[in-house]
Amino acid sequence: MRTRFIQFWESLKANFWFVPLLIILGAIMASFGFLYLDFYIGDKESYGGYDPSNFFHYFYWGSVESARSILSTISGAMLGVAGTVFSITLVALTLASSQFGPRLLRNFMHDRLNQVVLGTYVATFIYCLLVLRAVKSAEDQAFVPNISILFAIIVTVVNIFLLIIFIHHISVGIQADQVVSKVGINLHANIKRLFSEEAGEERPAWLSENPEEVKQAFPHNQKVFNKRSGYVQVVDMEPLLNLAVQHDLLIEFACQAGGFYVKNAVLAHIYLKESIETDLRSKVCNAFILGNKRTPSQDPEFAIHQMVEIAARALSPGINDPYTAITCIDKLTATMCYLAKAKFPSPYRYDAESQLRIILSPINFTGMMDASFHQIRQYGQDNEAVMIHLMEALVTINNHVRTSEQKEAVLRHAEMVFRAGEHSFSEPNDVKDLKKRYDDILRKEG
């Protein structure tokens, strides 16, 4: 349940309308609050008078007509600027989609400053309308909400500075280096979160059973089928573990977060000691949250694919920007160097009595390397600068690897890069440079 709530909250915050809606609701509450304060001070301090000794006299905005004019001017200006901000945002989204790929729109749509700016201007417009409605011109009951107007003017001044900040933010945000840097930050944060020291539950040292041997204790086997097509966004582990303990089960995953599975595909296998009439498959299937798109919640390759997509588009004939591709390789290299020393989560989950209950689909270093460099090699094999830099990246990663699996993964990619360059390079000196770096990897392996 906690995982579902977190997933719902994250998806809610990711919507472009959520933050503006909160700001608008805040503006509506502020209008009621300041109007109440105006009524209260007007009764206690004779707020409408012209006594210079009265402190509130300096916040007096004149007649009812003046108050209406101020509020009308502010509301009209804010609505016009809100339309301008929305237009600028759409232009930035169009440029980002064409240059960096449609999947990068997620980063621009989730940008907090863009949401705050749009929400602030619309909220100011609504605030002025609500305050304007409270202005009364009756001779015996004339009311000018001076504090409310003062707050509207202060917010208007702040909005002017906010517009300048927004234009600067958009101008910087669509630059290639800034986009790659931001994706790189998200990539590192996501990898660090998923591959922290607490990410996995290692098998207790005193346990000696083999998972295949554990399965033999469960003679009955049921398959859990997918109810609809979609991407596995998150898996709610807590109810699965409780279900396994309650019915004495062993659950083995046949899927990973981020994978796309069609309807009736196998998501998991349930191993039982006795045949149970309850619909366990439906309960297990409900723990898998599927959606129409991938999310970074439990998907370690999500941000990697974003970085690879930027590099692939940069290497396309229409854009032909190898410098951006090289920058993406550098960011991916830093990530793989971190993963070379990180602790990968264990695929085994145990109950309180150290009984094996859940076997996950393992995530390994080889898979992360494949996701990072396969497509870049395929799209960049005709670009000598990119291929040589890719080999340099593999040399750097090779200096950080520790296990034999990691060394084999780096060597395999180095072999593929060298073969691709050897067949596509037309200049012998470029082949020589590529081979020199490839030999550095071979010497360390030897």
163 in the same domain as 305:
no
The domain tally of the chain equals: 2
Question: What is the rounded average pLDDT for all residues in the chain?
Answer: 83
Cα-based torsion angle of the residue sequence 294, 295, 301, 306 in order, rounded to the nearest 10 degrees:
80
Centre a 10 Å sphere on the Cβ of residue 359 and count the other Cβ atoms it contains: 20
Residue with tokens 């410098």: 323
Interatomic CA distance for residues 359 and 251, integer angstroms: 6
pLDDT surpassing 80 at residue 232: yes
Q: Which of the listed residues 153, 174, 195 is the one where a domain comes to its end?
A: 174
- Per-residue pLDDT band for 300 (boundaries 50, 70, 90) equals confident
Instruction: Write the single-letter amino acid at 364.
Output: N
Interatomic CA distance for residues 401 and 404, integer angstroms: 8
Q: Is residue 324 in some structural domain?
A: yes
Q: Is residue 372 in some structural domain?
A: yes
pTM of this prediction?
0.78
pLDDT surpassing 50 at residue 198: no
Centre a 10 Å sphere on the Cβ of residue 21 and count the other Cβ atoms it contains: 14
pLDDT of residue 62: 62
Q: Is residue 308 in some structural domain?
A: yes
pLDDT of residue 334: 93
**What average pLDDT does this structure show over 76-91?**
88
Q: Which of the listed residues 136, 154, 174 is the one where a domain comes to its end?
A: 174
pLDDT of residue 49: 47
Q: Is residue 82 in some structural domain?
A: yes
More confident residue, 282 or 26: 26
More confident residue, 201 or 146: 146
155 in the same domain as 13:
yes
pLDDT surpassing 50 at residue 206: no
More confident residue, 50 or 370: 370
Q: Is residue 250 in some structural domain?
A: no
Strands (E), 150-276: 220-225, 230-235, 249-253, 260-261, 266-272
Of 47-56, 284-293, 361-370, least confident by mean pLDDT is 47-56
Q: Which of the listed residues 140, 174, 208 is the one where a domain comes to its end?
A: 174
Q: What range defines the domain where residue 35 resides?
A: 2-174
**What average pLDDT does this structure show over 144-156?**
88
Contacts 24+ apart (CB under 8 A), 124-127: 124/27, 124/74, 124/75, 124/78, 124/152, 124/155, 124/156, 124/159, 125/75, 125/78, 125/79, 125/82, 126/24, 126/27, 126/28, 126/31, 127/27, 127/28, 127/30, 127/31, 127/152, 127/155
Exposed, middle or buried by CB within 10 Å (0-12, 13-18, 19+), for 318? exposed
Chain centre distance of CA 346: 24
- Per-residue pLDDT band for 45 (boundaries 50, 70, 90) equals very low
Interatomic CA distance for residues 407 and 138, integer angstroms: 85
| Strand 249-253 versus strand 356-359 pairing type | parallel
- Per-residue pLDDT band for 47 (boundaries 50, 70, 90) equals very low
Q: Is residue 251 in some structural domain?
A: no
Q: Which helix (H) or strand (E) holds 356?
A: strand 356-359
- Helices 176-194 & 322-341, crossing angle to 10 degrees? 20
The residues near 226 (Cβ < 8 Å, ≥ 6 apart) are: 261, 262, 263, 264, 265, 266, 267, 285, 288, 290
Q: Is residue 142 in some structural domain?
A: yes
pLDDT surpassing 80 at residue 101: no
DSSP string, 259-302: -EE-TT-EEEEEEESS---S-HHHHHHHTEEEESS--SSS-TTH
More confident residue, 312 or 55: 312
Instruction: Write the single-letter amino acid at 403.
Output: T
Percentage of the chain modeled with pLDDT above 90: 32
Q: Is residue 295 in some structural domain?
A: no
